Amino acid sequence: MSIQNEKQIQWYPGHMFKSMREIKEKLKLMDMVMILLDARIPLSSMNPEVLKIIKNKPVLILLNKMDLADPYMLNQFIAHFNDKGYETLAIDSTTRKNVNKIYPAALKLLDDKIQKQTSKGLKIKAIRTMILGIPNVGKSTLINALSNKKATRTGNTPGVTKAQQWIKLSDSFELLDTPGVLWPKFDDMSVAYHLAITGAIKDQILPLDDVCHYALTFMQAHYIKRLAERYGISKDMTFIDMLDHIGKIRGALLKGNEIDYDRVYRIILTDIRGKQLGGLSFDRI
């Protein structure tokens, strides 16, 4: 397996640098911040630059795509973030599971501030929040679910949202949408692989053979029963053995019955992302 040098990987386009600067400028207007993470990779999808700039703002962490995650690991991460003092909620923006719990969670987070305003006889202003997250984590789909209308463009390609926009969710809840922002450098290549496996970065950025090697090796260690049920793969198979086996049983063949490895890579990633292998979590505490 040839691991690509991280200096060769270009995943921080100019608009992301500009977006981070604008986020810093708008942060002072916010009562709170919502950080949307991928429930399968809560640590890998947490932009460390965001944690640096939000400082003392109240934070609501939303673990999105909960139905795609390993339920056991999901509960582990909810407890992990709660222990760190973050209000945390698992949701699925596509099916709208637990989306109705976001506003009550925001009220709970800002309870002290609201109580102070009430005690002074002040009119309670609409809660202003921004939603931050990496590309393709489901921000636009979540906003559509919160506002009960198609307020933003959605897509399964990283980087659909290109600019900031205010969205009135209700008379008491206003949200500033922001483009997905990655960070310029990864210290741990496993983070890059987790982002690639889940589709947070474009498939052209990392070699798919490296990505699939990481994914299958990880699943051999943590989800061997899933691999056995889906593909008939055993724990002692090598990477090439696994690719050849999947290629044969799925008919990913070229002329002369040669394995079409590019097609096998697509099969593996499509199955992972489409929950054909069950709920998976690639981060571990």
Q: How confident is the model at residue 211 (pLDDT cuts 50, 70, 90)?
A: very high
- Mean pLDDT, residues 175-193 taken together: 80
What's the confidence (pLDDT) of residue 14? 57
CATH 3.40.50.300 intervals, the chain = 9-177
> What are the tokens at 75?
């509960």
Whole-number Cα distances in Å, 265 to 12, 125, 247, 279: 25, 51, 9, 19
Residue 132: pLDDT above 60?
Answer: yes
CATH architecture of 207-273: Orthogonal Bundle (1.10)
Q: Which helix (H) or strand (E) holds 88?
A: strand 87-90
Residue 229: pLDDT above 90?
Answer: yes
Percentage of the residues of the chain whose pLDDT score is greater than 90 = 58
74 near 100, Cβ under 8 Å? no
- Mean pLDDT, residues 174-178 taken together: 84
Residue 159: pLDDT above 50?
Answer: no
CATH 1.10.1580.10 intervals, the chain = 207-273
59 near 84, Cβ under 8 Å? no
User: Which CATH code of 3.40.50.300, 3.40.50.2000, 3.40.190.10, 2.130.10.10 fits the domain covering 9-177?
Assistant: 3.40.50.300
